[in-house]
């Protein structure tokens, strides 16, 4: 849950998320009260940080793309971490390992402006088309069998973004310093 990212968003966007969630049909579900054990009980009391909500109305520059990258949580998967700390020199350079059942490892791609290992050779049109290719009704989901490549990337959600918003993300990513980091996206342990 990228709650730290949401604490940096425009309050009106937070209200829009809440309004949307209130339109969803409720599903009865009894969830037992949480009672975390030490050390998680301590960690949960120390993690929350003061929010830094900020109004954002200027959609005409790469700051808006940076805002969207934060809101979408791109950093959370596309930046490697060590002991929970993001590696600043690997910002958006991919390679963070996620181990799936069956000892399958999936690693998000490098989305820095590096032309050889990132998206530096992509045009804005190619970038937008990649996301839009997962939009309904053109996109036809397929089943992934055990042991086959899969991804955590929520393509179908991001496919519903406007071309303007996707273009703003692309514009921001072009300002991210290139990091040469060839990522093997899929392997088995």
Contact 106, 185 (CB under 8 A): yes
pLDDT in tens, 23-52: 999 999 998 988 888 887 877 777 667 777
State how beta strands 186-188 and 104-106 pair.
antiparallel
- The closest of 14, 128, 2, 4 to 77, measured between CA atoms, is 2
Distance of CA 176 to the CA centre of its chain: 16
> What pTM does this model have?
0.83
pLDDT in tens, 78-120: 999 998 889 999 999 999 999 888 888 999 999 999 999 999 9
Residue 154: phi and psi, rounded to 5, are -80, 65
Contact 74, 111 (CB under 8 A): yes
- The closest of 152, 171, 161 to 131, measured between CA atoms, is 161
């Amino acid at each position: 849950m990228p709650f730290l990212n949401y604490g940096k968003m425009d309050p009106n966007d937070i209200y829009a998320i809440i309004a949307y969630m209130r339109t969803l049909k409720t599903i009865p579900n009894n969830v037992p009260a949480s009672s975390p054990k030490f050390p998680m009980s301590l960690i949960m009391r120390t993690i929350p940080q003061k929010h830094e909500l900020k109004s954002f109305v200027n959609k005409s520059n790469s700051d808006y793309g940076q805002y969207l990258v934060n809101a979408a949580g791109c950093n959370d998967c596309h930046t490697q971490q060590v002991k929970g700390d993001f590696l600043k020199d690997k910002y958006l350079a991919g390679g963070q390992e996620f181990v799936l059942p069956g000892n399958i490892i999936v690693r998000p791609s490098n989305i820095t402006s590096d032309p050889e290992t990132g998206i530096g050779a992509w045009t804005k049109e190619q970038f937008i088309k990649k996301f839009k290719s997962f939009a309904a009704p053109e996109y036809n989901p397929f089943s992934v069998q055990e042991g086959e490549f899969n991804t955590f990337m929520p393509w179908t959600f991001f496919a519903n973004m406007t071309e303007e918003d996707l273009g703003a993300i692309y514009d921001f990513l072009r300002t991210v310093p290139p990091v040469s980091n060839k990522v093997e996206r899929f392997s088995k342990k």
